[in-house]
Amino acid sequence: MRPTLALALLPLAHAIDIVSSNDDGWAEVNIRSLYSALGSSGHSVVVSAPAENQSGTGSSDETPTDRTEACEFDSCPANSGPYGHNETDPRLNWVNSYPVTSIKYGIDTVAPQFFDGAPDLAVTGPNVGSNLGLAVFLSGTVGAATYAAGTAGIPAIAFSGYSGSATAWNAEVPAYSTVYAELAARLTDRLIASGTPYLPENVWLNVNFPEVDETCASADDFSFVLTRIFTALPLITADDVETCGDSRLPTESSVIYFTDGCYVSVSVGSADDKTDADAAAQGVVLEKLGDLLTCLP
C-alpha cells in the first residue's frame, strides 16, 4: 500500500520528541539512517546508544565505566570517559554500557537538554538482523524498547531488519539501510498521526523487515502485516484480535521466512515479559495503524 498525499503531510503537523537507541552501537549506519529519516519527518530526535556492539545482551543494565579503547568504527577516541557525543551534533550520544543503560541515559539525561519534558516515543534499531520469536529475549534492541515501555512508561517500537551486516556511519549508506529507515519512519508517523496515547500502557511493537532484494527494493514495495511473536498453543493460547477473517494472527517468523512477497511483520508485545500482548492491545494497534496494515494473500 502506498501512502496518500494527505497522509504524507500528517507527520509535519504531529512532530514529537523521540529517543532512539539500539544494540549494534551508536555509530552503526542503521540508527543514523533512522535518525535522518525521523528528522526529515519533522520530529525532534536524540540518540543514546552503546559505544560499541552490544548485540545479545538482552535487558542487561550496568553503570557505565570509562573507556580505555576507541568506540566502534573509531567513532570516539580511547580514554574518553563513560559517556560522549558527536562533536558537531550533540544529539548523537554514546554510552559505555548496555542498550538498556543507554536508553535510560537518553531518557533521563540527554532528552531534558533538548525536550520540554520526557520523550513522547522511544524507537530502537533498526537492528542488524531479525529479532523473531525467542530472539526477543536475547536482543538488546528489544531490551531497550521494553525498558522504555515498561519501566519508563514511554511507548516504544523495536525495529529489526533481515538484510545487512554491521556498517560504519561514515561508509556508503547501503540501500537496505535507507529502505528500513523509510519504512520505520512511515510506521512511526502513522502511529503518531493516530493520536495519543500512541500505544496501550506497557505495550511495545516488535517490527521486523524482510530482506531487501531486487523484488523488494524500495519502501513502496513493502506492506505491513499484524502478527504475533510466538506460535499459539492449541487450547491454551487465547484468541488474537479478529482481522483478515481470522482470530489467529500469523507469526512474525512465518511472515518473514515463509511468505512470498515484501511483508513487514508488526507484533504487539507486553513489556512485562516480552511475550505477546492480549487481543485488546492488538485491537488498539490494529485500529491505530488502520489501512497501513494489509492481509496476507
- The reported pLDDT for the residue numbered 14 is 81
How many other β-carbons are positioned within 10 Å of the β-carbon of residue 85? Answer: 18
Alpha-carbon span 286 to 226, nearest angstrom: 7
Cell triple for 203? 505495550
pTM score of the predicted model: 0.95
Q: What is the dihedral of CA 58, 106, 267, 260, to 10 degrees?
A: -90
Alpha-carbon span 200 to 156, nearest angstrom: 10
Alpha-carbon span 165 to 33, nearest angstrom: 14
H or E segment at 207? strand 203-209
Half-sphere exposure of 266 (CA within 13 A, CB side): 29
Q: Is the pLDDT of residue 285 over 50?
A: yes
CATH topology of domain 5-292: Stationary-phase Survival Protein Sure Homolog; Chain: A, (3.40.1210)
Q: Is the pLDDT of residue 10 over 50?
A: no
Considering the chain, what percentage of its residues have pLDDT values greater than 70?
96
H or E segment at 5? helix 5-13
The predicted-structure confidence for 270-279, as pLDDT tens digits, reads as follows: 999 999 999 9
Domain ranges for the chain: 5-292
The predicted-structure confidence for 45-100, as pLDDT tens digits, reads as follows: 999 999 999 999 999 999 999 999 999 999 999 999 999 999 999 999 999 999 99
Contact 273, 204 (CB under 8 A): no
User: How many angstroms separate the Cα of 121 from the Cα of each of 38, 103, 209?
Assistant: 12, 12, 20
Q: What is the mean pLDDT of the chain?
A: 95
Q: For 47, phi and psi rounded to 5 degrees?
A: -105, 130
Considering the chain, what percentage of its residues have pLDDT values greater than 90?
95
Question: Tell me, what DSSP letter sits at residue 246?
Answer: B
Q: Is the pLDDT of residue 2 over 70?
A: no
Model confidence at 21, pLDDT cuts 50, 70, 90, reads very high
The predicted-structure confidence for 108-128, as pLDDT tens digits, reads as follows: 999 999 999 999 999 999 999
Q: Is the pLDDT of residue 1 over 50?
A: no
Contact 95, 48 (CB under 8 A): yes
Q: Is the pLDDT of residue 8 over 60?
A: no
The predicted-structure confidence for 192-251, as pLDDT tens digits, reads as follows: 999 999 999 999 999 999 999 999 999 999 999 999 999 999 999 999 999 999 999 999
Alpha-carbon span 209 to 213, nearest angstrom: 12
Contact 26, 50 (CB under 8 A): yes
H or E segment at 265? strand 263-270
257-261 contact pairs (CB < 8 A, 24+): 257/132, 259/296, 261/216, 261/223, 261/297
